Amino acid sequence: MTAQQSSPQPDQGDTGTSLPPGAQIVVRDEEWLVKNVTRTDHDGDRIEAVGISEFVRDQEAVFFTGLERTRDGEPGIELMDPAKTSLIGDDSPNFRRSRLFLEAILRKTPLPQSERGLALADSFLLDPLPYQQRPAQLALSGRNLRPRMLIADVVGLGKTLEIGLTLAELIRRGRGERILVVTPQHVLEQFQHELWTRFAIPLIRLDSAGIERIQREIPAGRNPFTFFKRVIVSIDTLKNTDQYKHHLEHIRWDAVVIDESHNLINRGSLRNQLAQLLAPQTDALILASATPHNGNARSFAELIALLDPAAIRDPERYSADDIKHLFIRRTKVSAEVREKMSGQWADRGPSESVHCAATPAEEKIFEELARVWLPAESRSVSEVPLFPYTLLKSFLSSHAALSSTVEARVKTLEKKDDPDATGAELAALQRLRELTEGLTEQDSAKFTALVAQLKEIGVGPRSETRVVVFSERVQTLEWLRSAVPAALGFKGKALEEAARVMHGGLSDEQQMQCVEDFGLADAPVRILFTGDVASEGVNLHRQCHQLIHYDVPWSLIRIEQRNGRIDRYGQTHKPQFRALILTSEVDGAKDDRTVAERLLEREDEAHRSLGTAEAVSGLYRAEAEEKSLIQDLLKGRTVDESLQHTAEEAAGADDFLADFFAQVDDTAPPVSDASAPDESSAPPKADVPRLFTTTREFVDEAVREVFPDAQQSLGMDRDPENGLISFKPPVDLVHRLKALPPDYRREQRLSERLLVTLNRKLADRSLVRARESGTSSWPEISLLTDLHPVVEWLTDKVLVKLGRQEAPVITADVEAPVYLVQGIYSNALGRPTVVKWMAVTGEDVTDDMVGILREAGIGPTMANPLQRHDVDRLRSGIPAALEAAEAFLSRHSSEWDKALLAPIEEYRQRLGKWEQPTLAGEETKDDLSRLADSLLTTGRPMLRVLAVLDSAHGSAAQA
């Protein structure tokens, strides 16, 4: 771009953006700092900006290049002509203002799409584990047109952390400004908490309370997804609310995350419809699930089509190679995971079966079930073949659950018009009703055994030990909650606080509160009685390593999911599992030894040998496993015979999906070049130019420059020993903090005082201390990552220290003036494809600006001689420097484009073979072809003069 062509002309067919983040623009005669730029379909570029001139200072605004016009009809958004850059001196110590300005530009400029390495992976509050960085590496690999993937790691490996790392890298590339996270309702706060405390990525939570708050805060009829840029919401809220569906149809996202995405598979369901709506509306799409398919090839192909419609040619037959650019899966026994744990995940103990001999009252029920409902010849009194096993499973849970099941069935039968057809079953149900009436805890062998086991574990009034107790039946959970604490000796207030119940009948707020309280060390809760609502995605390992199956689900997958609540990354104690096995002496009784005990053994065997039990049955879904098992039991098969039968049927049907889920691939994900590291090495790091070596150094210098009287103006206190920084946030920062979780802002009173640090150990201790609190899991001190609002605020403050279209002159060790020029090529979507930091001396151009600065002695120890320079002479050299910079970019642009062209051409070849448009939702082959075109570099580069280096002997005295 020459001087005459620097101003944007958005309405004249220029498909690339000329307004990179960090640029200063003039709109309506006021100055603004560009924060983010996205392309719209009809209105040109959508520019998010913050005011920097006095009248609009710190105000946020959105402009559209296609709509802004002056009174004369000219484009109303002006990017300064680089040839008209004003040069100013810098009188700050050590040229601090100039160095900060250059560093701020480096930080604000998105990394180009050609940069495949990780830029931020080592800067967050988590262990630098290469296996957790692999998904981000895959997302940036370029193998797919967009950063889209399915993270299918088994339970407990840290999928939330992997998602956070991926989102952080997208944000650094300018591709994560607008984020939507969709999760089950009971993990909303957990997910929100992890992304903020670990990565400083704030999400506004739209649970039931959050929706009410939003309705009070935003104008009536306003789309809440435009009011908040980064949102986390439950999938049940979205799928059941037509209003939100309507809002979603009219908004585009940079990134959408859908957790527990196996719930999307059933085509035609509300969850599936939601996914079909969101997939075309976002650039990045991250699906996560430890059990990502139901064993049906076509259903799994439809899930993959959300990510890349052209990935699979034949939805009935495809291979791992077809989806390797979209799919990543590891288990605890995968080599990279096992070798890199370094004590962060203790090996689990065995699943211990605790036999409980049935009481006389229970033996009578066993006898009734064996004689009437489950006779050996499989002739049951019930007209519903599977109902006898529903009765059996209820009884194996508790007499309370059996009673509830009997009553529900009686009500159903009494509504029928044919009493003769139902008479025998009603009579049999009446006998069961009589057998369960009046039963108490003393009549339950499992209850007695549970209390004994809890005492053996150490759960009691004077102990900190915690335990999770699982049951499939709500009636069992409520009964245990009412009876167990007293049996353990809890009294008074502790009797009410010692145990909590969690099940699907609770509201989202109640479920989240259960999880949070159980994870706080000082909270009085000692026992969490929970249903299988907690078997997916919930972290229960923070203060607990003991789990008891009060009843056992008839599914290997569900057993594994339950165990994964405490057997997961970050568990420092050996997870201990117990299962209560009710036994009977009644001839023909199908007690817990028939099914439950054998399933426990098979799950443990599969976990230790394969790392997962998901593929053992070949059915891949908990519901399918249980239904198939019951049907086989009706046919007289044992558990082992049933599992063998289903596995053989899957193999006979050529179950090639087992290649993905039984034989887990340990290799690192494919990347776009042949020089990619193997799994034994960490993912490659991005080449990110830095003038300041650390964020700490930048923050320290920025505070000195922007707030020289920080102690007085901000009330800032700094502890030199532990690195704690405490200050009162000014009004403009408080406004930015509104993007943080409201509960966190309120509990920590952030508008009154902020506690931040650059010391990771201090931040980690604060996080641990919060978990040991009985009031809140939000840490008092947050880590200043590069994404933290405080760091972003200081960066913007530094940028506006210079006036409109000004660049500093720095006295340096150079022979002739050196012009520092930023050059950016973009694609049709407005995203940088090439970013170069050039140093221009005459006709000589290098793209190693930081190296030149160091050679010239620019650094924190340099002296500022306060010399005045001949700015007219230096300004006269700007047009020639810009011309030389553009010529340099033009000569090398085709070489730099190679990193983009290869994967795009590979995708085009795959697109040419795609013959299944019906799986693509709203995206057709033409849509994807246009998307491929839009990713290529287009137009001429944007140039910007950043600074000029001038020698001391080249300066001239000025009046």
The Cβ of residue 831 has, within 10 Å, a number of other Cβ atoms equal to 22
Residue 355 and residue 583 in contact, taking contact as beta carbons nearer than 8 Å: yes
Tell me the three state secondary structure of residue 950.
strand
Higher pLDDT, 912 or 714: 714
Beta-strand (E) ranges in 289-431?
327-328, 351-357
Percent of the chain at pLDDT above 90?
A: 52
Residue 540 and residue 187 in contact, taking contact as beta carbons nearer than 8 Å: no
Distances (CA, A) of 236 to 182, 395, 508, 514: 9, 31, 10, 19
Residue 169 and residue 323 in contact, taking contact as beta carbons nearer than 8 Å: no
Q: What is the distance between the alpha carbons of residues 255 and 260, in angstroms, rounded to a whole number?
A: 16
Amino acid at 925: K
Alpha-helix residue ranges (DSSP H) falling in 398-473: 399-414, 419-436, 445-457
Distances (CA, A) of 878 to 3, 597, 804: 9, 80, 17
Question: Would you say the C-alpha torsion 919, 925, 926, 927 has a positive or negative sign?
Answer: positive
Residue 319 and residue 543 in contact, taking contact as beta carbons nearer than 8 Å: no
Predicted local distance difference test score (pLDDT) of residue 58? 63
Tens digit of each residue's pLDDT (9 = 90 or more) over 112-134: 988 999 999 989 999 889 999 99
DSSP-assigned beta bridge partners for residue 717: 726
Predicted local distance difference test score (pLDDT) of residue 609? 82
What is the residue-wise DSSP string for 812-843? -S-SS-EEEEEEEEEETTS-EEEEEEEEEETT
Q: What is the distance between the alpha carbons of residues 386 and 389, in angstroms, rounded to a whole number?
A: 6
Distance of CA 409 to the CA centre of its chain: 43
Distances (CA, A) of 423 to 372, 391, 404, 410, 433: 14, 18, 20, 11, 15
Predicted local distance difference test score (pLDDT) of residue 54? 60
Question: Would you say the C-alpha torsion 885, 891, 895, 901 has a positive or negative sign?
Answer: positive
Predicted local distance difference test score (pLDDT) of residue 385? 85
Tens digit of each residue's pLDDT (9 = 90 or more) over 454-507: 999 999 998 999 999 999 999 999 999 999 999 999 999 999 999 999 988 888
pLDDT at 914 over 80: no
List the one residue out of 71, 483, 698 whose CA is nearest residue 469.
483
Specify the pTM.
0.86
Residue 248 and residue 235 in contact, taking contact as beta carbons nearer than 8 Å: no
Number of H helices, E strands in the chain: 34, 28
Across all residues in the chain, what is the average pLDDT?
86
DSSP-assigned beta bridge partners for residue 292: none
Question: Would you say the C-alpha torsion 934, 935, 940, 941 has a positive or negative sign?
Answer: positive
Predicted local distance difference test score (pLDDT) of residue 657? 57
Mean pLDDT on 249-263 = 89
Q: What is the distance between the alpha carbons of residues 135 and 326, in angstroms, rounded to a whole number?
A: 10
